[in-house]
């Protein structure tokens, strides 16, 4: 297979609008969910050789995914040294060369954010799930909050397990994260050290911001997602006839489900 043909096939998988591309992206999302589930489940068992082999397999899949995305990228270096590219590199290195246990493998939770917020995945969800189109802002805000909670839970576990007797598994870390984020603060589980205190502050500030954003989106009247062909404004009232920004006549598709 020639290089041009291989690049074309990979772009069809990662960026294509066809059924094959849709299935492939859903498969990637399912795999990321599976790796996060394994990250949580493995915390309840003593770490043995099987953990290393599973992490190695996950790391190789992540490496293949990164290389494929680099191969089809129009700006490979820019993508590689972006925040998401560096996060992927750190995850891969920590999985393939586990110098510090699982190390920075908790960053694999952030892959869910990148995959879910990619333009191809969002377009796919809008086409496949009518409810997602109608409630996209609320769904995305809720998922952002959930991903943040899982990322902070993973970070709490990775930094506190082994040195904090209150944090022995992901449930303990999740319990602390949720009580801190909600400002309930029962006080029966606390993080040790200066880094632990700073992490608690980060969870409270960022978590409350995301929670308030979710409430704002839920209470705000729903908008239709339809890019204006002239000015590009994407959010309009469902019954809008003209664009609020430029006055262009709109023809917003309606599924008749409301």
Question: What residue segments make up the domains of the chain, in order of their start?
Answer: 1-108, 129-222, 223-258
The answer to pTM > 0.75 is: no
Q: pLDDT at position 64, please?
A: 93
Q: pLDDT at position 65, please?
A: 92
Burial environment of residue 249 by CB neighbours within 10 A (0 to 12, 13 to 18, 19 or more): exposed
Average pLDDT, the chain: 83
With a cut of 90, say whether residue 71 has pLDDT above it: yes
Give the mean pLDDT of 73-93.
85
With a cut of 80, say whether residue 48 has pLDDT above it: no
Give the mean pLDDT of 137-144.
82
Give the pLDDT band (50/70/90) at residue 176. Answer: very high
Q: pLDDT at position 257, please?
A: 52
Q: Residue 11 contacts by C-beta under 8 Å, 6 or more apart in sequence?
A: 72
Q: How is residue 16 annotated by DSSP?
A: -
Give the mean pLDDT of 64-76.
91
**Among the listed residues 44, 236, 40, the one whose alpha carbon sits nearest the alpha carbon of residue 133:** 236
Best-predicted range by mean pLDDT among 43-57, 95-109, 117-131, 236-250? 236-250
Give the mean pLDDT of 127-151.
81
Helix orientation angle between 119-128 and 108-116, rounded to the nearest 10 degrees: 60
Give the mean pLDDT of 29-42.
84
Give the pLDDT band (50/70/90) at residue 175. Answer: very high
Give the pLDDT band (50/70/90) at residue 63. Answer: very high
Helices (H), 101-135: 108-116, 119-128, 130-134
What residue has token string 């339809």? 226
With a cut of 80, say whether residue 222 has pLDDT above it: no
Listed range (148-152, 183-187, 195-199) with the worst mean pLDDT: 183-187
Report residue 171 CA to chain centroid gap.
20
User: How would CATH label the architecture of 129-222?
Assistant: Orthogonal Bundle (1.10)
């Amino acid at each position: 297979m020639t290089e041009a043909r291989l690049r074309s096939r990979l772009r069809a998988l990662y960026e294509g609008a066809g059924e094959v591309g849709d299935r492939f992206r859903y498969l990637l999302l399912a795999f990321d969910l599976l790796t996060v589930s394994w990250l949580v489940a493995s915390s309840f068992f003593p770490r043995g050789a099987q953990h290393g082999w599973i992490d190695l397999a996950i790391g190789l899949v992540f490496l293949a995914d990164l290389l494929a995305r680099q191969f089809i990228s129009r700006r490979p270096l820019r993508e590689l040294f972006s925040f998401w590219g560096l996060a992927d590199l750190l995850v891969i290195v920590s999985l393939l060369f586990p110098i510090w246990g699982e190390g920075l493998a908790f960053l694999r939770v952030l892959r869910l954010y990148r995959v879910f917020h990619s333009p191809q995945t969002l377009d796919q969800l809008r086409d496949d799930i009518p409810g997602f189109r109608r409630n996209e802002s609320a769904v995305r805000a809720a998922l952002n909050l959930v991903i943040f909670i899982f990322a902070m839970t993973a970070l709490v576990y990775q930094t506190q397990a082994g040195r904090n007797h209150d944090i022995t598994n992901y449930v303990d870390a999740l319990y602390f994260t949720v009580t801190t984020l909600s400002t309930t603060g029962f006080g029966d589980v606390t993080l040790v050290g200066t880094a632990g205190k700073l992490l608690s502050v980060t969870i409270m500030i960022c978590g409350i911001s995301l929670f308030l954003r979710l409430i704002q989106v839920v209470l705000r009247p729903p908008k239709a997602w339809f890019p204006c062909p002239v000015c590009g404004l994407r959010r309009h009232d469902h019954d809008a006839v003209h664009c609020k920004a430029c006055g262009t006549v709109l023809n917003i598709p309606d599924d008749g489900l409301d």
